[in-house]
Amino acid sequence: MDDWTTLGYLAAAVLFILGLKRLSRPRTAVRGNQFGATGMLIAVVVTLADNSILSFEWIVGGLVLGAAVGALLAVRVQMTGMPELVALFNGFGGGASVLVAAASYIEASDLDTASARLSAAAALASLIGALTFTGSLIAFGKLQESLRWSGFPGMRIVSVTGAAAAVAFGILMVVDASNPLWLWLLVAVGAVLGVLVVSPIGGADMPVVIALLNSLSGMAAVAAGFVLDNSLLIIAGSLVGASGLILTQIMCVAMNRSLPAVMFSPAPSGAGGPSADDVYAGKVRSTSADDVAMLLESAERVAVVPGYGLAVAQAQHAVRDLARRLEERGTEVVFGIHPVAGRMPGHMNVLLAEAEISYEKLIEMDDINPTFEQTDVTIVLGANDVVNPVARTDPSSPIAGMPILDVDKSGVVVVIKRSLSPGFAGIPNPLFAADNSMMLFGDGREAVVGITKALQQI
């Protein structure tokens, strides 16, 4: 590798750092992303110009094919489908790292130049990359709701055995570099582990998984960097690995669960707590769009608390129309965003931004909670566990201690929901039966459109 290549990589690394820095502020984020893309372009160009590239036919084919597919996916995806796409891209990054490590290891194996360091790095890259690849595909399937399989009894024993086998194959790769069989066995075990680890996780835990897979795709690039002895892969991969870990941490704190708890004891069960009948019987009040419109008409401050149901019902534009209508009447409208609402970090913010709702109106949990007492009407739209007051009151509940949005403290709570079915935690929500709550049953988008219409007729 010549000096120009090294300098080009340095420039790319600096651009990645500046880009990530700018991505963390709304005003500079667009520029930050452009910095990142420029850095990537420089990295690709100096690599192509480097003497170590001998044949270009396959490269051009891969570049054109990948760019076309990537661009198509990016342009066509709907904002509600963003978690799936991010999961998919994570997986492709991890998959690419496996293939890079495999190609380098096989070449070194053929030439008998595989050092212990190269082999060990290739083993790590294969394992992490393969796990990221299949784990992301499973996450993709779960987010699309086309995959409901969540494992089989005794799966944990298989996982532990698989992890032990992975370590063994990794050691064999180092000891016996002449035989690529160990590499492929390790890749296979990594792929199976990805499936086993992600399959049992679902629903509200998805933001944690996606952030973690994001981090792993960076770590796979780091390992590939150690294989190729490439400083840029190490630096850029570490930056991504670190940012993914921080997001994972933020998501775990927002759910008051530890990462091991999310990964290894998923699906909290609602067993043992009060049954749905005890909580709801005779106390749930159902309401109509017209009645909600009457309430809103006299409200001075309205808070909207969206959840995953907003994404499912594609209700973001309908909500925007309702908010505009209310604001024209002089009502203050704010949006309360729980950090883990939706299926990936920041999911709600993206959807509401798509509907052109200013991000200044999206209030974080810690900032909006003290203001619910001064809020006349709170509309809960497709959210459940993140507004369940049991988290504050019942220490034995599966969600005990999870920070929630204190919507029950506002004047009136209107819950728009299809039914009284429980959320991901599987427990009934006393909010639905509270004296100041009423349920508006139905599809989220239709319900909001109905309220807006009724409001116009007043």
Partner 1 sequence: MDLLVAVTLFVMAVFLGVELITKVPPTLHTPLMSGSNAISGITIVGALVAAGADHRTFTTVLGFAAVTLAMINVVGGFLVTHRMLHMFRPKRRRDAPAGSGGGES
Q: Which residues are catalytic?
A: 385
CA distance 217 to 356: 32
Name which of 202 and 225 has its Cβ closer to partner 1: 225
Query: What number of other Cβ atoms are within 10 A of residue 387's Cβ?
Result: 25
Strands of 412-417's sheet in order across = 362-364, 332-337, 301-306, 377-381, 412-417, 437-441
Nearest Cα to 275, choosing from 89, 428, 423, 418?
428
Q: What minimum distance in Å lies between the beta carbon of 273 and partner 1?
A: 30
**What would the two tokens of residue 387 be?**
């507004």
Strand-pair partners of 304: 335, 379
Name which of 74 and 181 has its Cβ closer to partner 1: 74
Strand-pair partners of 19: none
Per CB under 8 A, 345 contacts partner 1: yes
Applying the rule CB under 8 A, the residues between 321 and 340 that interact with partner 1 are 327-328, 337, 339
Candidate residues 269, 364, 400, 458; the one interacting with partner 1 per rule CB under 8 A = 364
Query: Quick one: DSSP state of residue 330?
Result: T
CA distance 327 to 300: 10
Q: What minimum distance in Å lies between the beta carbon of 309 and partner 1?
A: 18
Candidate residues 67, 181, 281, 400; the one interacting with partner 1 per rule CB under 8 A = 67
Handedness of CA 101, 106, 111, 114 (dihedral sign): positive
Per CB under 8 A, 226 contacts partner 1: yes
Applying the rule CB under 8 A, the residues between 285 and 324 that interact with partner 1 are none
Query: Quick one: DSSP state of residue 438?
Result: E
Query: Quick one: DSSP state of residue 428?
Result: -
Q: What minimum distance in Å lies between the beta carbon of 91 and partner 1?
A: 9
Answer yes or no: are the C-beta atoms of 399 and 268 closer than 8 Å: yes
Strand bridging mode 332-337 / 301-306: parallel
Name which of 68 and 281 has its Cβ closer to partner 1: 68
Tell me whether residue 23 is exposed, middle or buried, using C-beta atoms within 10 angstroms of its C-beta: 0 to 12, 13 to 18, 19 or more: middle
Candidate residues 2, 4, 7, 117; the one interacting with partner 1 per rule CB under 8 A = 117
Mask: binding to partner 1, 43-62, rule CB under 8 A, as x and -?
xx--xx---xxxxx-xx-xx
Name which of 21 and 156 has its Cβ closer to partner 1: 21
Among the residue ranges 190-198, 350-358, 373-381, 387-395, the one whose residues contact partner 1 (CB under 8 A): 350-358
Mask: binding to partner 1, 5-34, rule CB under 8 A, as x and -?
----x------xx-xxx-xxxx--xx-xxx
Q: What is the separation, in whole angstroms, between the first and last Cα of the chain? A: 74
* Residue with token string 């944990």: 156
Name which of 14 and 434 has its Cβ closer to partner 1: 14
Per CB under 8 A, 177 contacts partner 1: no
Q: What minimum distance in Å lies between the beta carbon of 399 and partner 1?
A: 20
Per CB under 8 A, 225 contacts partner 1: yes
Applying the rule CB under 8 A, the residues between 73 and 112 that interact with partner 1 are 73-75, 77, 79, 82, 85-86, 89-90, 92-93, 95-97, 99-100, 102-104, 106-107, 110
CA 361 from chain centre, in angstroms, equals 22
Residue type, 356: E
Candidate residues 7, 181, 246, 400; the one interacting with partner 1 per rule CB under 8 A = 246
Among the residue ranges 69-77, 278-286, 384-392, 442-450, the one whose residues contact partner 1 (CB under 8 A): 69-77
CA distance 199 to 116: 34
E runs forming strands in 118-174 = none
Candidate residues 193, 362, 380, 407; the one interacting with partner 1 per rule CB under 8 A = 362
Per CB under 8 A, 386 contacts partner 1: no
Per CB under 8 A, 356 contacts partner 1: yes
Per CB under 8 A, 131 contacts partner 1: no
Per CB under 8 A, 281 contacts partner 1: no
Residue type, 49: A
Applying the rule CB under 8 A, the residues between 180 and 199 that interact with partner 1 are none
